[in-house]
Amino acid sequence: MPTREDSPRALAARLVPLLDLTSLGEDDTPGKIDAQCVRARGGVLPAAVCVYPEHVTTARRALAGTAVKIATVVNFPDGGSDAARVEREIRRALAAGADEIDAVLPWTAFCHGDIVAARAVADAARHACGAGHVLKLILETGELATPERIRAAAELGIESGADFLKTSTGKVKVNATPEAAIILLDAIAAHGGRCGFKCAGGIRRIEDAAAYLQLARERLGDAWITPARFRIGASALYDELIPLLA
């Protein structure tokens, strides 16, 4: 996919500040999270690290004094329909020191036509985050499956005030795809670009990341692509990019 970047190194330098360096392993330990954060401090900083709520305090301590945001996940990965529980999870995560919340839309309920339940969770997440914390709404586009449902979920997320539409949890069979990204980016563009976009799940190569970058550029312009509006959730991609900056 053609881009304006002149070299792999220049592209890597563009991409790393857009990354949410993610570690969502079921066996993650505080030591692993601390080591990942120490590594992130060593060069070009990512936009955020994304960890499970129990590791927020570790990440906050390890990244103290940097501009790297601490992101965590709620209602994850299943996407339940209990809006009150989602709000409680978010309040606890923010109290622990999270800056950004990646909350899963109740995609099963949405697929079954229960739009009210899906909207209640999205609204509760927005309310709990308030104006001071970033909300990324995970749509789980691979499970929504059809273009019509993906577009409808994107509209719901934008209307609810999400700061980002995120493709996937990375925990299902089909995660980020260019086809789903196009639908989300088109919806975002139709609403003036005020909502951001995050692709996540299976993005491991610089070529994959460049393709998503180009899709966003074509629809929203190069100036729109900043950490405030465009993120890539990945860990393997970080491992590929960092050697290019040496």
Instruction: Band the pLDDT of 2: cuts 50, 70, 90.
Output: very low
- Does the active-site annotation cover 171? no
Domain architecture of the chain: domains with CATH: 8-245 (3.20.20.70)
- Does the active-site annotation cover 173? no
How far apart are alpha carbons 66 and 57 in whole angstroms?
15
Give phi and psi for 19, each to the nearest 5: -85, 140
Q: Which of 20, 136, 163, 166 is catalytic?
A: 166
How far apart are alpha carbons 71 and 51 in whole angstroms?
6
Q: Which of 20, 136, 163, 198 is catalytic?
A: 198
Q: Which of 102, 136, 163, 208 is catalytic?
A: 102
The three-state secondary structure class of 105 is: coil
Burial class of residue 26 in the structure, from the number of CB atoms within 10 Å of its CB (0-12 exposed, 13-18 middle, 19+ buried): exposed
For residue 146, count other CB atoms closer than 10 A to its CB: 10
pLDDT tens column, 22-47: 999 999 999 999 999 998 998 899 99
For 48, the token pair is 């955020």
pLDDT tens column, 187-244: 999 999 999 999 999 999 999 999 999 999 999 999 999 999 999 999 999 999 999 9
- Does the active-site annotation cover 198? yes
Give phi and psi for 29, each to the nearest 5: -115, 160
